[in-house]
């Protein structure tokens, strides 16, 4: 046990020099501003780094301060977030920014308990902000760190069980060095790259190979262990891209539930045949003149899979119960989530 403790105490000495040499250049690592770190960590939840870079830069250009975020309209925020998914994240960012303005006079709080009390912030994000922005010894334990820790300790418990995360967090907190922010980022970086997901661990390049239990025992590729995934619920949707007078119909989704408050193309549950689709639309007082195209796509959420059949239709007249926009307006002004944006016609393919 004492030998194991000693080796884990060597973790900071091993990974910090590696991090200073091998860290990726990422836009949110240019400074230690709490606002920048907070926004980047929320964006990075369940989203690849490469996908986040462009969103982060556009978001910061549009909303450079907490006050700008707090004062932004829902429509503007949704458009800035369009395509990034998990839209509850940006709604919670907005709420948290407003709390910071109201309760903290616009200054991002420094205390862990105040940060974790903000909407949408859990232990991981609070730990990341406290350690990286304020150099506090608060571990930020995400999937990358859990994977790394399971291999370092050769722990075959499921990493997605709360007990494993709790134990890893406590063990890391006990060995945090003075330069806490760099240590947090080094753990994240090593877990995301050398000891990364969806590939064999690159033990030959790992600064921890000399004391990594899984490497020593030859079990690194068997870890981490995860609980069996729940099977996704499959739902069927028929989507209608309605075209009239160079305009396309969109509608607003309900204020609660999946993709709450986002724009969508009109749709209904189930797969409709062309005849059934025309009958359905006629019952909505929409006169179909022509079906120009039919496509099928699949969109996967975390726990739901949408199998989608889309009809492109020319219709007679612009109906007042729908919102009608040009393609350019939809692209530049309205937030259309990826589940529906995949059906947006190309300008070249749009009817004349």
Active-site position among 25, 41, 235, 333 = 41
Alpha carbons within 13 A on the beta-carbon side of 106: 8
Q: Please give the span between the terminal C-alpha atoms of the chain, in angstroms, as a whole number.
A: 75
Beta strands in the chain (DSSP E): 233-244, 247-252, 263-264, 267-269, 288-300, 304-315, 323-325
DSSP states of 196-233 as a string? Answer: -TTS---GGG-TTTTT-HHHHHT-GGG--B-PPPPPPE
262: left (phi over 0), alpha (psi -120 to 50) or beta: beta
41 classed as catalytic: yes
Q: What angle do CA 181, 61, 45 make, to 5 degrees?
A: 45
Query: What are the tokens at 239?
Result: 């989507």
Closest CA to 143 of 40, 46, 18: 46
Buried b vs exposed e over 302-338: b needs ≥16 C-beta within 10 Å?
A: eeeebebbbbbbebeeeeeebbbbebeebeeebbbbe
Query: What are the tokens at 139?
Result: 């571990």
Cβ within 8 Å of residue 11, ≥6 positions away = 152, 175, 208, 211
Closest CA to 311 of 347, 342, 272, 285: 272
Q: Give the span between the Cα atoms of 250 and 261, in whole angstroms.
A: 12
Contact 58, 86 (CB under 8 A): no
Q: Which residues are catalytic?
A: 41
């Amino acid at each position: 046990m004492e030998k194991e403790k000693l080796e884990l105490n060597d973790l900071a000495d091993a990974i910090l020099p590696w991090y200073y040499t091998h860290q990726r250049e990422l836009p949110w690592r240019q400074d230690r501003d709490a606002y920048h770190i907070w926004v980047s960590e929320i964006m990075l939840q369940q989203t690849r780094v490469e996908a986040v870079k462009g969103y982060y830069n556009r978001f910061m250009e549009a909303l450079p301060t907490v006050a700008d975020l707090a004062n932004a309209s829902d429509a503007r925020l949704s458009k800035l977030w369009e395509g990034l998914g998990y839209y509850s994240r940006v709604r919670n960012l907005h709420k948290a920014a407003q709390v910071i303005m109201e309760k903290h006079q616009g200054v991002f709080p420094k205390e862990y308990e105040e940060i974790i009390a903000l909407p949408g912030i859990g232990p991981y994000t609070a730990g990341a902000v406290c350690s990286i922005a304020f150099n506090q010894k608060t571990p930020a334990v995400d999937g990358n760190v859990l994977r790394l820790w399971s291999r370092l300790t050769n722990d075959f418990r499921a990493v997605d069980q709360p007990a494993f995360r709790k134990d890893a967090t406590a063990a890391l907190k006990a060995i945090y060095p003075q330069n806490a922010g760099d240590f947090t980022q080094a753990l994240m970086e090593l877990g995301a790259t050398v000891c990364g997901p969806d590939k064999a661990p690159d033990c030959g390049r790992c600064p921890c190979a000399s004391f990594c239990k899984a490497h020593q025992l030859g079990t690194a590729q068997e870890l981490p262990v995860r609980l069996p995934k729940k099977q996704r619920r499959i739902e069927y949707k028929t989507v209608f891209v309605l075209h009239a007078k160079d305009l396309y119909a969109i509608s607003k989704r309900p204020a609660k539930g999946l993709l709450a408050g986002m724009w969508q193309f009109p749709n209904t549950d189930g797969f409709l045949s062309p005849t059934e689709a025309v009958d359905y639309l006629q019952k909505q007082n929409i006169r179909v003149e022509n079906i120009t195209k039919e496509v099928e796509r699949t969109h996967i959420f975390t726990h739901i899979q949408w199998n989608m059949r889309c009809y492109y239709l020319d219709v007679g007249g612009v109906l007042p119960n729908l919102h009608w926009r040009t393609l350019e307006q939809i692209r530049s002004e309205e937030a259309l989530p990826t589940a529906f944006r995949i059906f947006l016609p190309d300008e070249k393919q749009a009817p004349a």
